[in-house]
Amino acid sequence: MLGRLLWHAVRHVPFYRRYTAPVMRFAPYDALREFPLLEKKDVRANFEELSASLPWGARCHESSTGGSSGDHLTFLEDDATYAREMAFMHSQWKRVGYTPTCRKATFRGVAFREITDTCFWEENPIHNELLFSPFHMSERNLELYIQKLIEYQPQYLHGYPSAIDILAAYVLHHEKTLQLPPVDGVLLGSEDCSVEQRARIENAFTTRVYTWYGHSERTVLGGECEKTRCYHAFPGYGILEILNKDGESCHVGEQGEIVGTGFLNRSMPLIRYRTDDYATRESYECECGRSWDRFSAVVSRRMYEGFVFGRNGSKISATALNIHSDCFRNVLRYQYYQTVVGQLVIRVIPMAQYSSVDEARIVAEHEMKLQGEMEIVVRKIDDIPLTKSGKQQRLVCDVK
């Protein structure tokens, strides 16, 4: 699969044509090491050069990252990529008993058609799930969430660790565990899950927490197995490298940056893509019998995220604010900033093309996401200071 991807890249992607010689001369893994590390800024600067010419008429579309570091990225991906990824997701969830016929209650930042004072959920029959809003999880509303879970009788919980942890803390504090329907597992993703969150969730729902690692650019996907909490990287999804600061492969027990080469996308292949996420390399041997690359202790770019507070007291994860559209297309960088409960300031560094139309779109997209929990204010500024480690801090909450 790697060999086919590299041949495709040097034949059909202008950016990679200069690496034709090593692809012709070397075996695929040796040829891969001749390719440069690719950063997000390189994708922006070389968007057209990285776009494949697709003579066979393959269909593609623009996609984007959620801007977890305040550093939004737009890229091309095949129309079939999402469906192929869902096959991998179902394959790994099957390790803890999940099948597509199982009911699940999902807590993620998706747009809802209608939210009322007593209804913070809606059905999604495509994935056999009831979607719960993570934007309205205030002390006042959580009893309604509990009653709906009892009525719905889900077999699995799925979603952001931060949102399900809020529910778990409420369950434990009010001793609701025995009132809840038994669940077979909790499927957590899209943000880091701390040891404390895992323990609370497992105690509240008396079940196993299962987590996985992935990202919007879809170059690496790894999940826990039945035996350990290490991540097993799917070999058919992409090539995993864990590199130290000198660009050399880490040994077992060493921490380095996750670098991925994805197999799912031919429209804009990302080869040796730097994720800005870090992990510890583990031995490939595992009790479960999968001899795949393994890693653990992921330190994600999302660690710089936090919470904001809605006007009704809701504690909203910054991950839930991810906007998968092009409303930030004419913004260099942006940051969420809050000093007043119920008001969210979006600081933007505008590009030359930025106009009032962009501002109106940013406000509208966030109002739709937050369903009335926030007043949205956009402020143009000249600079967004970085953290001491040189990172872009996506969210600053100074609510006392």
Structure tokens at 29: 């893994």
Q: Per residue in 230-287, pLDDT tens?
A: 999 999 999 999 999 999 999 999 999 999 999 999 999 999 999 989 999 999 999 9
- Asked whether the beta carbons of 37 and 247 are under 8 A apart, the reply is yes
Backbone angles phi, psi at 56, to 5 degrees: -85, 5
The residue that leads in pLDDT, 55 or 246, is 246
Q: Which of 169, 189, 212 is the last residue of a domain?
A: 212
For the cut 50, the answer to whether the pLDDT of residue 389 exceeds it is no
Stronger pLDDT, 195 or 14, i.e. the higher one? 14
Lowest average pLDDT, out of 322-326, 350-354, 389-393, goes to 389-393
> Are 91 and 181 part of one and the same domain?
yes
Boundary residue ending a domain (212, 227, 251): 212
| pLDDT beyond 60 at 387 | no
Together in a domain, 173 and 243: no
Place of tokens 């910054």: 318
- Overall pTM > 0.75: yes
How many percent of the chain have pLDDT more than 90? 68
Task: Please compute the mean of the pLDDT values over residues 362-384 and round it to a whole number.
Answer: 91
Of the candidates 258, 273, 302, which is a domain's last residue?
302
Closest CA to 260 of 291, 293, 285, 224: 293
Query: Is residue 184 domain-shared with residue 218, that is, in the same domain?
Result: no
Looking up residue 197, the CATH number of its domain turns out to be 3.40.50
Written as one string, the DSSP assignment of 47-106 is HHHHSPP-TT---EEEEE---TTS---EEEEETTHHHHHHHHHHHHHGGGT--TTS-EEE
What pairing do the DSSP bridges indicate for beta strands 343-350 and 395-397?
A: unpaired
For residue 304, the model assigns a pLDDT of 46
189 in helix, strand or coil? coil
Q: What pLDDT does 70 receive?
A: 52
Mean pLDDT of the chain, nearest integer = 90
CA–CA gap between residue 384 and residue 164 (Å, rounded)? 31
How many Å is the maximal CA-CA distance in the chain?
66
Whether residue 79 lies inside any domain: the answer is: no
- Domains held by the chain: number: 4
Residues 92 and 195 grouped into a single domain: yes
**Are 269 and 5 contacting, i.e. CB atoms less than 8 angstroms apart?**
yes
Task: Identify the band that residue 158 occupies on the pLDDT scale cut at 50, 70 and 90.
Answer: very high
**CATH number, domain with residue 384:** 3.30.300.30
Residue span of the structural domain in which 366 resides: 303-397
Same domain, 129 and 158: yes
Q: Are residues 144 and 205 in the same domain?
A: yes
Q: Residue 292: is it exposed, middle or buried by C-beta count within 10 angstroms (0-12/13-18/19+)?
A: middle
The pLDDT assigned to 204 comes to 96
